[in-house]
Structure 1
């Protein structure tokens, strides 16, 4: 059967960036920057994105393009007879399901908040009422299940239409709208009275502040964020590599995706920090920043309902861009494993995904007694920990070793595939770094993630 192809290079870049651009950029990045001291964190984040993210992304793209298969089957096409690299293919597929088990719920939160803001629910509400709305949503399993099911049906529905007509077409429109809305929101934030203090906090590295927070805390936070923002290690990028031709070298394409990903993260901060400083809201208020802090701010500005609605449309688009990309990965694995049609695999996965997403939804109400990491933790924390701290770093390590070791696909084969086409090339001078130093850094990230959680 002929492998499906993306119609345009722009489609490939926007889809890959859409997979990388998600709630991590627009929710986690600003609150991490707030907690880790602002400008210095942003500086280290960009540095680590270049040295950690780019080589591994180029490797995932190369494995996908060389194999012309989904992540679950890619290793079989490239490994030598008798090797066991392909076991990671099945783990990568499980990783995609694990990620979506909580991502569908969080995407549902964004839709719910868009509905609440657009319908005027926050108009004239006090700070306590706004805070209470989030708690109230979490306590309503039916409301959250409804939104989650909507996310699953729309997501698989778009992917079922086809690669070019469904996924590529919708993602292009959605990503261009996302970028346009962000710029409008950022301009609005920057024009607020008192915004300059927020911009200074966010964009000017203050190493004295970094010292207060802890140099190690800032650097480790930036390293983790840079590593996890690109969704590397579960084949989420490899799948799009398998849909493109040989016209462009892959390191250059990885740079384009990383630039778009960084642009979105930086602009999300430009929306949030000036607004926080204008209204005297603590910029380090953590995960509650967008569900409690921002609705309060929108309440106090002219045309707040419009700006609030636009903000949550943008958040929903950011969440959906990842949902669509990972659903495509799941469908492609299913089609490769079963030989069934795109539509059949989509129908089966709608039911399966809804069932798998229920523990996260119920973790805040019916199953709230289950607190895997102690008081206040939930099912979402467990699922997020498994993906972010185990699947992504260890999966990235497998891709790294597979592409650099003579016991895997090997440096020569990787370099040949990555360098085919025009654009930025992989050089032999990088070999020492990606073969020996980068795997150690990835292991350190893995160890730090485990240490943070349990010690």
Structure 2
């Protein structure tokens, strides 16, 4: 064990909201509703929940267990739990690289949210026709000063929050931010579902369409459900390990993981209740990705009564979803320096602030000055490439490492993992499923990994 007294959360709700904040990200809003509608509405949600239960939650429990048992981030957790097997420690460095890579492009996207929130608040879309609203996104990404300025603002804000410490910074800010995120989302749902013409969107989103699910695209739908269950919880990078290291042993980790997964799923599901009724009411096809957030919805808000108010509220929600992830991953990055090199927070924050700001420049400049660099083919950007490295490579392979480490006798081992996961009151981890978690889960993870490549390069 590391000798330093480790800071802990002041409350259990703090742990749940911050862990959920790390999981709740932009993918909940611009990916989940779209794939739900694409693959059978409520029927797909059922498939997704099954995948969440058999794949996402178990690996989340494993991450929490590694963190709680070691009282450390992945920078040193594996060497603490298996000091006689130094090979496992190599993953600590891979985990660190994954977190840095994630922030190298995520800070740019969070900056987009800042820019659009200010633009919406200032009435920047008022009186604009659809072509002008659409052009606004192109104007934003074409400006190096705009993208770099907002990216640096996000890095400064996130690092300032983390500099205050776990309780006085991360927890103190994230708890009200996540609370307001839920409030804003519920208000937006009420406004959306009460719009004239919203019922068709609700029917499309909520009525199970098993014919669409069990069609010749079922394999595609299953991959989408497994991928969403897998990536939505931010598992595989060690981001959840650090929060496991901050919690006590009053409650079992299965119960904690289920609560975090439910909070994350509720946000994603409610986002669909905002998007589909709005698009239906205004006869607009819902897009996926940046087009939905920066083109489709601003055009709709522009034509709604009090659209500036609803648009501002939406971008506050989006910014908080992005910032909650940024702050959580920054805390993980700072903990690497504290655990691995024995730095204090006062040194870890400014060093990482400069490092992340500089390393984030290529993604921000990839839309303008570096637009000639197209690593994934024509039309791709540096941001796309960094996202591909993290989402399609490092996260699934990282999850594979956690699954093997917690079940294999050459790793931490099944019995030690079970003892840690089951410490405290609450639901216990199913002990009889070792074969499933040792052999089946890694196969599923590898399948997701391969399918990601096939989708990217097999077209």
Output the TM-score relative to the length of structure 1: 0.98
Partner Cα distance (2:121, 2:37) in 1: 27
TM-superposed CA distance for 1:72, in Å, is 0.8
Partner Cα distance (1:82, 1:372) in 2: 37
Structure 1 partner of 2:241: 238
What SS is found at the alignment partner of 2:208? coil
Q: Trace 1:290-305 onto structure 2 (pairs within 5 A).
A: 290-305=293-308
Structure 2 partner of 1:426: 429
Structure 1 partner of 2:71: 68
Contact preservation (8 Å) 2:31, 2:288: no
Structure 2 partner of 1:39: 42
Contact preservation (8 Å) 1:48, 1:223: yes
Structure 1 partner of 2:255: 252
The one-character-per-residue Cα deviations of 1:392-425 (angstroms, maximum 9, x if unpaired) are: 0000000000000011000000000000001111
Structure 1 partner of 2:371: 368
Partner Cα distance (2:277, 2:199) in 1: 7
- Equivalences, count: 455
Contact preservation (8 Å) 1:114, 1:309: yes
Q: Trace 1:138-149 onto structure 2 (pairs within 5 A).
A: 138-149=141-152
Q: Trace 1:43-442 onto structure 2 (pairs within 5 A).
A: 43-210=46-213, 214-284=217-287, 286-442=289-445
Relative to 1, partners in 2 of residues 1:124 and 1:212: Cα closer, same or farther, differing over 3 Å?
farther
Contact preservation (8 Å) 2:79, 2:85: no
Partner Cα distance (2:344, 2:276) in 1: 47
Contact preservation (8 Å) 1:276, 1:283: yes
* Structure 2 residue corresponding to 1:24, chosen from 27, 37, 45: 27
What SS is found at the alignment partner of 2:432? helix
TM-superposed CA distance for 1:448, in Å, is 0.5
TM-superposed CA distance for 1:225, in Å, is 1.2
What SS is found at the alignment partner of 2:187? helix
Structure 1 partner of 2:446: 443
Partner Cα distance (1:443, 1:17) in 2: 25
TM-superposed CA distance for 1:34, in Å, is 3.8
TM-superposed CA distance for 1:36, in Å, is 3.6
Partner Cα distance (2:122, 2:153) in 1: 19
Contact preservation (8 Å) 2:48, 2:228: yes
Deviates more, 1:143-152 or 1:433-442: 433-442
Partner Cα distance (1:230, 1:448) in 2: 19
Partner Cα distance (2:34, 2:227) in 1: 14
Contact preservation (8 Å) 1:249, 1:418: yes
Deviates more, 1:204-213 or 1:412-421: 204-213
TM-superposed CA distance for 1:11, in Å, is 0.6
Question: Superposition RMSD on alpha carbons, in Å?
Answer: 1.2
TM-superposed CA distance for 1:44, in Å, is 1.7
Relative to 1, partners in 2 of residues 1:257 and 1:186: Cα closer, same or farther, differing over 3 Å?
same
Contact preservation (8 Å) 2:26, 2:321: yes
What SS is found at the alignment partner of 2:375? coil
Contact preservation (8 Å) 1:34, 1:283: no
What SS is found at the alignment partner of 1:86? helix
Contact preservation (8 Å) 1:80, 1:408: no
Show structure 1 runs of 4+ deviating over 4 A.
none
Partner Cα distance (2:353, 2:260) in 1: 29
